Structure 1
Amino acid sequence: MSEETFEKLQKISSFKVVEANTPMAKAGEVANKIYLLVSGLMRVYLSSESGKEYNKNFFMPLSFVGSFTSIIKKQPSKLTYETLTDCKLYEIDFNEIVSLCQQDIEISNLYNKILEKIFMSYEERQLELISMDAKQRYLQLKKRLPNIDFMIPQYQIASYLSITPVQLSRIRKTLNINP
């Protein structure tokens, strides 16, 4: 990336330090921001009418996070994006990125690469859900986030794995893992 392109991106982003458990994009609202997560851990979840939360994904540093469906369709998001730990991130107005993409091929190419990475992540997650059992999904998560057991509550990990906290506890017991 050229210095000129980097400066253009820097002008449309703002660095933020955000406390744990802060919603960055809420269900029911039309999103217009995306975030580059620099440090910390975030999640995206669906909340049922009864208030039960279903974790869809966890985001680690150097992930682009945002309610892309809401942004693109200009419709309220069905999901909430929230910090799980204290986070450092860059906030970017999506419309400004789109405008820059129309003016600068380098930024447009970068945007395309980001979308490709997001697509591949979602495909990988779908493959995990349909081809792995709960123990394999847990081990895969531990490979990506070795300290996950010490970072967030067990019920959130279980929700991400599509199992109950009791099932997660049993899996941990068979693996001799005690957070």
Structure 2
Amino acid sequence: MHPNFEYLKSYFNISEESFYLLQQISSKKILKANTKIAEVGKKPNKIYQLNSGIARSFIVTESGKEWNKNLYFPTDFIGPLTAITSNKPSLLTYETLTKCEVYEVDFVKFLEYTRKHIDISNLYNKILEKVYINYEKRQLELITLNATERYRNLQKNIPNIDSIIPQFQIASYLNITPVQLSRIKKQI
């Protein structure tokens, strides 16, 4: 039996028929660092589950400054969900920061399956729960923790983050400047 089927069956009670359908609309890919998987102004139709590596979502201001909205780590789902579900262009760009192994899923087809298969609909509910929990956690960190605490949390979650992605990316994620990050690192 396929190991991914065992995983989905144990956590989400997916049937073999549904697993077969999901296989038809997904593929495993290795993406190089700095690969854009969705871009501002384009209508996307894919969602990705990150198996390894780190990715980000970001915006670029009129002055050309980039702001990371979020960083994504293994087991996270990545993609412009709002754009896909509303059939509008993405407001963010999604990009790999490191080499990433992902499952690319045709999300439009996935949504069709949720209307016909209760187990796929339940899987979708669990995915949405995970996305929402991560979103809420990120928002709470930004409003309740200072920059040093946010940095320590990031280090706790990804101990070698400083050697994986550039410091300016970390600073942007923490919503501080690279100079502020350098000061925090010196204090720690």
**Aligned residue type for 2:150:** R
Aligned equivalents of 1:39 and 1:152: distance in 2?
14
Deviations 1:85-135 (A, max 9, x none): 011111111111011111110010000010011011101100000000000
DSSP-derived class of the 1:43 partner: strand
Deviations 1:118-172 (A, max 9, x none): 0111011000000000000000111111111001111110011111101100111
**Aligned residue type for 2:93:** T
Q: Normalising by structure 2, report the TM-score.
A: 0.90
User: Structure 2 unaligned runs (5+)?
Assistant: 1-8, 10-14
Task: Indicate yes or no: 2:117 matched with 1:107.
Answer: no
Q: Which residue of 1 aligns with 2:17?
A: 4
User: How many residue pairs end up in the alignment?
Assistant: 175
Q: Which residue of 2 aligns with 1:98?
A: 111
DSSP-derived class of the 1:88 partner: strand
Task: Indicate yes or no: 2:69 matched with 1:56.
Answer: yes
Task: Indicate yes or no: 2:116 matched with 1:116.
Answer: no
Task: Indicate yes or no: 2:157 matched with 1:150.
Answer: no
Tell me which of 73, 83, 96 is aligned to 1:83: 96
DSSP-derived class of the 2:67 partner: strand
Q: Which residue of 2 aligns with 1:128?
A: 141
Task: Indicate yes or no: 2:10 matched with 1:31.
Answer: no
Tell me which of 60, 72, 86 is aligned to 1:73: 86
Taking only aligned residues, the RMSD between alpha carbons, in angstroms, comes to 0.9
Shift of 1:58: 0.7
State the identity %.
56
Runs of at least 4 residues off by over 4 Å: none
Q: Normalising by structure 1, report the TM-score.
A: 0.95
